[in-house]
Amino acid sequence: MRLPPADAVTYSPFQTHPVSGFNREGHEGHTSEVLQDSSPSCNFVSFVVHEPSTLHERPWVSCLSRLCFTLERLSNTHASLINQLRAGDPRALARVISAVENRTPGWSDLLKALFPHTGHARILGMTGAPGAGKSTLVDQLARHYRKENRTVGIIAVDPTSPYTGGAILGDRIRMQEHFSDPGIYIRSMATRGSLGGLARATADVTTVLDASGRDLIMIETVGVGQDEIDVVRVADITIVILVPGMGDDVQTIKAGIMEIADIFVINKSDRDGAERVEREIRALQSLAVRGDQWTPPIVKTIASEGKGIAELAHAIANYESYLRKENLVLKRNIQNWQERLIEMLRDALLDKARAQMSDGDMLRYAAEIAEHRRDPYSLIEEIVESSAKKVDQTKPM
């Protein structure tokens, strides 16, 4: 398949429709075309940006040559879901997210087909301790952006019980006002045992929401402590939410959760101690220097009353402008993808190793280790070596 030139108006067999938007590299108002394939063997929609840049700088275009092959592998049902999702159908969006989250057959092909359509949304990560008011703040911020006619996707992550495996998924209760708004899509997710403040599939669900055309995606993590910082590998902008009166201030300001903040929010700032929390943050900032030379602003809010929300949105916009001005967007994305690729590789290898063992094998291994009949380190080496041999045996001669 030949790729279209940068100044092409049409690209057979596609029908083109001009659109505009904001891409991940920070170029606002760029001119794009939606490429709708009219051939029966490959049914999809893609973006091609018309700007003087190389193919290397336009990764969504480089994906185009592989996209047709990927979608030919999709079932008719999945291909139809993608078209409906791209057309704005919330039911199709929900079904695709469920398929990705539950790892149903074909989930990876869905993500492969959707990835070329990503890069438009700005992703905000909202994290903080339990009781900091994250859900209320997300609710108010979503309301603010809807007044600006921007579409919003919200991923609310709730903890899973280590005993029953269940999750309440109650964050959406605070966002009931938005249920009838087609411009806001809310999805609750359980961590399903994952650590780091996010569910395992959160990043993949973010990809789906991005491909659906949302302008902003807000990820609300579970209540975190000091080092649950997975959100920084997914979000473009990370907002750490603090509240006064959480005990020892020095304890709340420790490495990890505090170091990832692009913006600090002191919520419930009408409480006693808000000024003390601000002083502690200022003192921390005087000791640490970020690689991008950005000093995270401190925004005081009272989310339950809607106070400080406009100031928070302004701080977010300022940081976006700073990233564009300093040409840091792409650099930051590369750093985040390095971490995510390692995580994805680890998960894929773990899935393959688990697939080669039954539950009975795991129980037997655990019993042998618990009874000190063998050590776990030698066992892991054996499993890894066995998996490597099976991979070598499957390679074509």
* Predicted confidence (pLDDT) per residue in 75-113, tens digit: 677 888 899 999 999 999 999 999 998 888 888 999 999
Per-residue model confidence as pLDDT tens digits over 303-316: 999 999 999 999 99
pLDDT at 132: 86
Residues 171, 134 within the same domain: yes
* Pair (149, 257) in one structural domain: yes
Comparing 50-59, 118-127, 305-314, the range with the smallest average pLDDT is 50-59
What's the mean pLDDT in 290-301?
Answer: 90
Q: Are residues 36 and 182 in the same domain?
A: no
Residue 361 vs residue 316, higher pLDDT: 316
pLDDT of residue 256: 59
**How long a stretch of residues is the chain?**
397
388 Cβ partners below 8 Å, 6+ apart? none
- 341 has pLDDT over 60: yes
Region of poorest pLDDT, from 236-240, 318-322, 387-391: 387-391
**Residue 276: which residues within 8 A CB-CB, separation 6 or more?**
244, 249
Q: Which domain holds residue 104?
A: 14-117
234 and 363 assigned to the same domain = no
For 124, residues 6+ apart whose C-beta sits below 8 A from its C-beta are 141, 216, 217, 218, 219, 235, 236, 237, 238, 239, 316
232 lies in the same domain as 162:
yes
177 and 75 part of one domain: no
Q: Which position has the higher pLDDT, 378 or 34? A: 378
pLDDT band at 15 (very low <50, low <70, confident <90, very high): very low
As a whole number of angstroms, the distance between CA 231 and CA 369 comes to: 35
Give the residue with greater pLDDT, 156 vs 246: 156
Q: State if pTM tops 0.85.
A: no
What average pLDDT does the segment 6-21 reach?
36
C-alpha 389/C-alpha 383 separation (Å) is 10
Can you tell me the mean pLDDT for 238-243?
91
Task: Express as a percent the part of the chain with pLDDT over 70.
Answer: 68
Pair 252, 129 in one domain: yes
Residue 362 pLDDT exceeds 70: yes
Q: Is residue 2 included in any domain, yes or no?
A: no
Q: Is the pLDDT of residue 63 over 70?
A: no
In a shared domain, residues 317 and 366: no
Instruction: Please tell me the least confidently modeled range out of 236-240, 370-374, 389-393.
Output: 389-393
Is a pLDDT exceeding 90 seen at residue 320? Answer: yes
| Residue 20: per-residue pLDDT | 37
* Chain mean pLDDT for the chain: 76
Antiparallel, parallel or unpaired: β 216-220 and 152-158: parallel
CA distances from 177 to 36, 102, 159, 174, 312 (A): 35, 28, 23, 8, 21
**136/247 same-domain check:** yes
Q: Which of 169, 155, 53, 63 has the alpha carbon at shortest distance from 116?
A: 63
